[in-house]
Structure 1
């Protein structure tokens, strides 16, 4: 787990209790007395915060001092998550695996978040979306669905991401496939007699090709956490990055923020893999013809920049009959993903019922034959 070193609290101006950010709004609210106060917005700070950082300088660890911060850290002993605590909290359950974790005394220097998407969904809305998703799954245990409906509250978590921009120029080599047809005579059996017919046979003529394609990539998202499978978070897309606002700790009041555990260099490698897939598809489109083979692609990257951003996820980790199930809900759109639960009883009942139905149909068929 990780914690920002300032031990910041958000005290209510009226009663002194802790404030929390209200999802879907731009204000902090007090659950004790109902007082609310607005989070200040500065259009000039938005322009600055959403600007890109030079990737080469980031990889050299040569960013301006203002772009860096010192963060206390204690990894979860079970799943390795690095979570940044806000306020005076010193112990909590890991939102990824429900393991109790206490804050340590270590610290490390890291790149500050530049921007975030504030939570748009409240916890009851996220829970309802998760329960609906579970209810639509075939063979999901009824007990788990009911436990999710009535169980403990979901944890609101800001998850770290990198975004990458790049201008690319690519040279490719491959083959273009063009269809042509020939006619052949075949013999077929019709009503016990042999007849001959003509049929078209498709062939592919391949010819070597080469060329160039160019593409400008903007905000290629890369998950900067190892606590959740990328398949989970990828399934939460798309995100509306137009909703990014300058990073302000006020938006974290009442929530948890995870520190990044996928470094900038590793994030760049993942982003280039994503870009490579797009570039190869561009090459296929450029080759044309009926089929394409892309044999080699060489890409030059320029104007490479990045941002470190936080995206909102509601997280649930339920222990049900000795197994932990994790579910994530996009805190902006309500899309849900998680581990697929199976009910052994439902599967067994369905198999038995299917066998009974098949046996009954077989018996009726035999009776009709007699």
Structure 2
């Protein structure tokens, strides 16, 4: 996020001097006063997918900066959400907790983003449709979710590339007559990781992450412009590249172990150990769009997350205990009928 005065200038309507907001349906800035549309395309759009080299032995040239922005600090979860243009929310987009206004925020420059493509009305419809398809959901849940508070948010992510030269040692099991025998094996393989998507914030929960991971398309990346954020909140990047790579270590370890098991090609592979020489690390520092719908059911706070790119929907939901009891009773009755029928057939 860049200088606030420059952002305000970009968001002012050239036709009537009114305030503009980004409209996902039109993929453009739209004036709230005269409805004039302003495209955000640039000659550099094709460069937004550019990746940046990282040398772990050199000092990082990607350093944090202080920007004058409207930053909201959540008093509940500690999240910081900034707004470009007019302040549009006094609740945290992540947890719906109260926020206090600050005027500056220190973070890293955003490299690129994927703009919202799903309008708020479509996100709410997707959330209502999602809860309507939930098994044993309370009958009034659709009505409750339809009234949920909707927050549009750009969340920070990394993409990482790397080349891994892996040497491994493992054990596997084989059957010999009636005995199970453990064998040892070792080997080497090369793994290329491309666009591993990693959350760059502790506030990006698995619910939010899973709502985005399946829909990331680098070709949709656009260079950062304040106009894309007009009307939405955004969390800035606060991690260095080294910190982002450390956050990705566990996921990458799991992926490498799975590749090793596939390379061994035996059943019962276990006790996997390996060393890897990592090279060719490249990264992007990006923002991705998500809708978060906050609702309460019988005093319990829950949320439904809708991907702002394609509308994929995930969420938290309650169960109807009366429906569960009814399903259990029906299943028991079917089991008894089947048992009686089986027994009667055996007597014939």
Please tell me the TM-score bracket, short chain as reference: 0.7 to 0.9
- Name the residue aligned to 1:195: none
Note the alpha carbon deviations across 1:122-145, whole angstroms, 9 max, x for none.
Answer: 112111111111011122223332
Cα pair 1:236 1:336 within 8 Å, conserved: no
Give the 5 Å matches for 1:163-242.
163-180=159-176, 182=177, 201=178, 203-238=179-214, 239-242=216-219
Question: TM-score of the superposition, structure 1-length normalised?
Answer: 0.79
- Name the residue aligned to 2:124: 127
Instruction: After TM superposition, give the deviation of residue 349 of structure 1 in Å.
Output: 5.4
Match of 1:161 among 157, 163, 176: 157
Match of 1:287 among 258, 264, 270: 264
Cα pair 1:224 1:263 within 8 Å, conserved: no
Give the 5 Å matches for 1:26-37.
26-37=27-38
In structure 2, C-alpha distance between the alignment counterparts of 1:299 and 1:275, rounded to whole Å: 11
Cα pair 2:158 2:284 within 8 Å, conserved: yes
In structure 2, C-alpha distance between the alignment counterparts of 1:127 and 1:268, rounded to whole Å: 35
- Name the residue aligned to 1:21: 22
Instruction: After TM superposition, give the deviation of residue 358 of structure 1 in Å.
Output: 7.9
- Residues 41 and 57 (structure 1), Cα distance of their counterparts in 2 relative to 1, 3 Å cut: farther
Give the 5 Å matches for 1:40-59.
40-43=41-44, 46-47=46-47, 49-56=48-55
- Residues 323 and 59 (structure 1), Cα distance of their counterparts in 2 relative to 1, 3 Å cut: farther
- Name the residue aligned to 1:185: none
Instruction: After TM superposition, give the deviation of residue 78 of structure 1 in Å.
Output: 0.7
Q: Secondary structure at the match of 1:340?
A: coil
Instruction: After TM superposition, give the deviation of residue 282 of structure 1 in Å.
Output: 2.2
- Name the residue aligned to 1:309: 286
Q: Secondary structure at the match of 1:269?
A: helix
Cα pair 2:294 2:303 within 8 Å, conserved: yes
In structure 2, C-alpha distance between the alignment counterparts of 1:264 and 1:148, rounded to whole Å: 38
Give the 5 Å matches for 1:64-83.
68=65, 70=67, 73-83=71-81
- Name the residue aligned to 2:235: 258
Give the 5 Å matches for 1:94-133.
94-105=92-103, 107-108=105-106, 110-133=107-130
Instruction: After TM superposition, give the deviation of residue 353 of structure 1 in Å.
Output: 6.9
Structure 1 unaligned runs (5+)? 183-200
Instruction: After TM superposition, give the deviation of residue 22 of structure 1 in Å.
Output: 2.2
Q: Secondary structure at the match of 2:317?
A: coil
- Name the residue aligned to 1:273: 250
Q: Rg larger in 1 or in 2?
A: 1
Cα pair 2:155 2:204 within 8 Å, conserved: no
Structure 2 unaligned runs (5+)? none
Q: Secondary structure at the match of 2:281?
A: strand
Instruction: After TM superposition, give the deviation of residue 261 of structure 1 in Å.
Output: 5.3
Measured on the aligned residues, the alpha-carbon RMSD in Å equals 3.2
- Name the residue aligned to 1:192: none
- Residues 57 and 293 (structure 1), Cα distance of their counterparts in 2 relative to 1, 3 Å cut: closer
In structure 2, C-alpha distance between the alignment counterparts of 1:205 and 1:275, rounded to whole Å: 30
In structure 2, C-alpha distance between the alignment counterparts of 1:91 and 1:133, rounded to whole Å: 25
Q: Secondary structure at the match of 1:14?
A: coil
In structure 2, C-alpha distance between the alignment counterparts of 1:230 and 1:71, rounded to whole Å: 30
Q: Which moved more, 1:260-269 or 1:324-333?
A: 260-269
Q: Secondary structure at the match of 1:125?
A: helix
Cα pair 1:69 1:112 within 8 Å, conserved: no
Q: Which moved more, 1:98-107 or 1:221-230?
A: 98-107
- Residues 231 and 98 (structure 1), Cα distance of their counterparts in 2 relative to 1, 3 Å cut: closer
In structure 1, C-alpha distance between the alignment counterparts of 2:272 and 2:171, rounded to whole Å: 8
